[in-house]
A and B are shown apart, each in its own frame.
Chain A
Amino acid sequence: MTDALLSARGLRKTFGGLVAVDDVSIEIAAGMTHSIIGPNGAGKTTLFNLLTGRYHPTRGVVVYKGRDITALPVYKRAHLGIGRSFQITNLFPNLTVLENARLAAQALGKDNFRIFRLATSFDSYIRRAYEVLEITGLREVAALPANTLPHGGKRKLELAMILACDPELLLLDEPTAGMASEQVPELIQIIDRIREQGAKTIVMVEHNMSVVMNISDRITVMHQGRVLAEGDPRQIAADRMVQAVYLGELYDLPKGESA
């Protein structure tokens, strides 16, 4: 594939003696929804941290739009259009829900050093913040401190913040982590809406297999820091090794689709 938006070659990350990510190569095609699955500790979050620049790889390169970004710090990658949400909720806890979203909307603008204007006088950021709160159903609680939201609300705010940044490439690390199962569909709907808006590339780590199978154009399976398999949902579901290592009996193909 030459039209990869983001690609990594030979990525390796060690923590002391532990190899968290081991020789991982991956290509994310533009416009696709690409899921990464694998058991806990497989190295998915670490891979995200390498792709977004939070960690620097022990070895290997990361290329975005044909440019080597391996040495680029996190904030510069954000300016190139890479945004992420976090598995472990990562908000500004004492600021209001609105302020969390507004900070995200303001982040890539050109007004961050206008110290003689009030932050609230920039309508476009506030409008954008309300927009994403509307999409994520958080408008009613906009004035509450973020840490007062229930867990599901915090997960939605995670999504709202990445939406407000409006990145080209979204890396979503277990967006439904810790949510009650009846709340999951609402969140998936939000992700669906992002996908429908088009022009977005999504890389998603997710454990809910029916979600993964339905939503993904492509799936990469990781295990013990390595890429175990890659393919479209049907190929992955049929892959014996994947079945043995990870899927087991957890997932059966929807009726009528089994090969």
Chain B
Amino acid sequence: MIQKQNSPIQRGWLRRNALPLLLFAFLVLFPFIVGAITDSSPYGVVRGDRMIMRGESVRWQSVLIEAYILIILAMSYNLLFGFTGVISFGHALFFGTSGYVLGLMLEYTAIDTTLALFVGAALGIVLCGVLALVIGFVTLRLKGVYFAIFTLAVAEMFYIFFSRWQLTRAEDGFAITELPAWLDPSQSRINFYYLSLAAVILTFVFIRRLVNSPSGAVFKAIRENEDRAQSMGYNTLNYKLLSIMFAGMLAGVAGLLQVILNKKVGPELLGVSYTVDPLLMTIIGGIGTFTGPVIGAGGLHFLDVFLRDAQINLGGVVIDIANIWALLLGVIFILAVIVFPFGIVGTWQRWQARRHRHPEKPLPDAAAGQD
């Protein structure tokens, strides 16, 4: 009886969320689907008494894990930039900081590996939050550009410090050799795949929840018109601090995953590309939309993967795409911005809104999306 009453509602919910649910199911089954198609084991290849991470399924798991990491980074950037309107040029700072904390914990302390993992991860994320609050507290009162420059300066400072610090082997960085077997991507890729999938989904849900909360409403108000928000009684600094704190911590989560996946810690984690990439990915996908960073980061990563080893033949001259990837990325970015002035998702939403609205009513014309 009760089930019968509920079922139409449940069916409605199912239908409304059909696409995300299908995508979720696909991503959960992904290692097995690829495994079935390519006739490879999602668990790797048995070699004596251990598993070797070889085969198409395992390789593709890595590709997706890399995408998940970039998506988390882009989503965290979008929380600050797209929803709160604060432009940071130092996002890599958080990505690298948590990575170094975890690496130092695992490799430079004598405590039990599993304990070091959890303590390192927690400490890394907390430190990112604290760092974000400190930077925010000192500089968020500044106007946009000054804040952006300051974050760039701090990130560069960390980059220079870690590329000189002998303890962490300066520019070379150090390898992660101690990981619990269940997490180690070179012993069980699939476990780490599911962990990363969980992280990306939780981050997505968390950000959507936060943005739709009363605080998130104020984030958007600040993005739209900080001055007005203040005159209504909002102490906007507090909300910007909240936003940068969560953005920093989530970027830290991405950094942890990156370090575990590559089993390596080095100053490149603090490099400017981990700031610029999420910025570009967010803009291409659609700033201030929930799915924009997912599509932007996922899309660019897959382009990168497919084109990485490709070559083009220009009248007998063979060019490796890998060598001109940065150039290509620039061209893609310019084209994307011309074709999708509000990002892929933002432009699509506007197009939808236009279809569903009376033609005589005017259209939104400013830069940010509606969700």
Interface set of A (CB-CB < 8 Å, partner B): 52, 54, 73-76, 78-79, 83-84, 86, 90-95, 99, 102-104, 106-108, 111-120, 122, 144-145, 147-148, 161, 165
**A92-B225 contact in complex given A79-B233, A116-B209, C-beta closer than 8 Å:** yes
Number of interface residues, chain B, beta carbon within 8 A: 35
**Minimum CB–CB distance for B345 against chain A, Å:** 15
Residue B171, interface by CB 8 Å: no
The CA of A93 and the CA of B209, in the complex, are separated in Å by 23
For B367, the closest partner residue in chain A by CB is A94
Residue B172, interface by CB 8 Å: no
Residue B39, interface by CB 8 Å: no
Q: Interface code B218-246, partner A: CB below 8 Å = 1, 0 otherwise?
A: 10110011011111111110010010000
Residue B3, interface by CB 8 Å: no
Interface set of B (CB-CB < 8 Å, partner A): 209-210, 212-218, 220-221, 224-225, 227-236, 239, 242, 361-370
- CB-contact partner of A75 in B210, B234, B361, under 8 A: B234
The CA of A106 and the CA of B233, in the complex, are separated in Å by 10
**A147-B364 contact in complex given A92-B224, A115-B215, A118-B212, C-beta closer than 8 Å:** yes
**A93-B225 contact in complex given A75-B235, A107-B232, A111-B214, C-beta closer than 8 Å:** yes
**A90-B228 contact in complex given A113-B215, A119-B214, C-beta closer than 8 Å:** yes
The CA of A91 and the CA of B228, in the complex, are separated in Å by 7
Determine whether the beta carbon of A103 is less than 8 Å from that of B217.
yes
**A75-B230 contact in complex given A112-B215, A113-B214, C-beta closer than 8 Å:** yes
**Minimum CB–CB distance for A160 against chain B, Å:** 12
Determine whether the beta carbon of A103 is less than 8 Å from that of B229.
yes
**Minimum CB–CB distance for A78 against chain B, Å:** 3
What are the residues of chain A within 8 A of B216 when measuring CB–CB? 115, 119
**Minimum CB–CB distance for B327 against chain A, Å:** 34
Determine whether the beta carbon of B221 is less than 8 Å from that of A95.
yes
Determine whether the beta carbon of A148 is less than 8 Å from that of B361.
yes
What are the residues of chain B within 8 A of A95 when measuring CB–CB? 220-221, 224
Determine whether the beta carbon of B364 is less than 8 Å from that of A119.
no
List, sorted by A's number, 19 A–B pairs whose CB atoms are closer than 8 Å: A75-B231, A75-B232, A78-B233, A83-B232, A84-B231, A86-B228, A90-B227, A91-B225, A92-B224, A99-B217, A99-B220, A103-B218, A107-B233, A112-B234, A118-B212, A119-B212, A145-B364, A147-B364, A147-B365
The CA of A95 and the CA of B212, in the complex, are separated in Å by 13
- CB-contact partner of A118 in B213, B233, B234, B362, under 8 A: B213
Q: Which 5 pairs show the lowest CB-CB distances between chains A and B? A: A78-B233, A92-B224, A107-B232, A107-B233, A119-B217
**A52-B361 contact in complex given A91-B225, A103-B218, A103-B221, C-beta closer than 8 Å:** no
**Minimum CB–CB distance for A101 against chain B, Å:** 11
The CA of A104 and the CA of B192, in the complex, are separated in Å by 45
**Minimum CB–CB distance for A181 against chain B, Å:** 23
**A92-B220 contact in complex given A74-B230, A74-B231, A75-B235, C-beta closer than 8 Å:** yes
Known A112-B239, A148-B361; further 18 A-B contacts with Cβ < 8 A: A74-B230, A74-B231, A75-B235, A83-B232, A90-B227, A91-B224, A91-B228, A92-B224, A92-B229, A94-B224, A103-B218, A103-B221, A107-B233, A107-B234, A115-B216, A118-B209, A119-B216, A147-B365
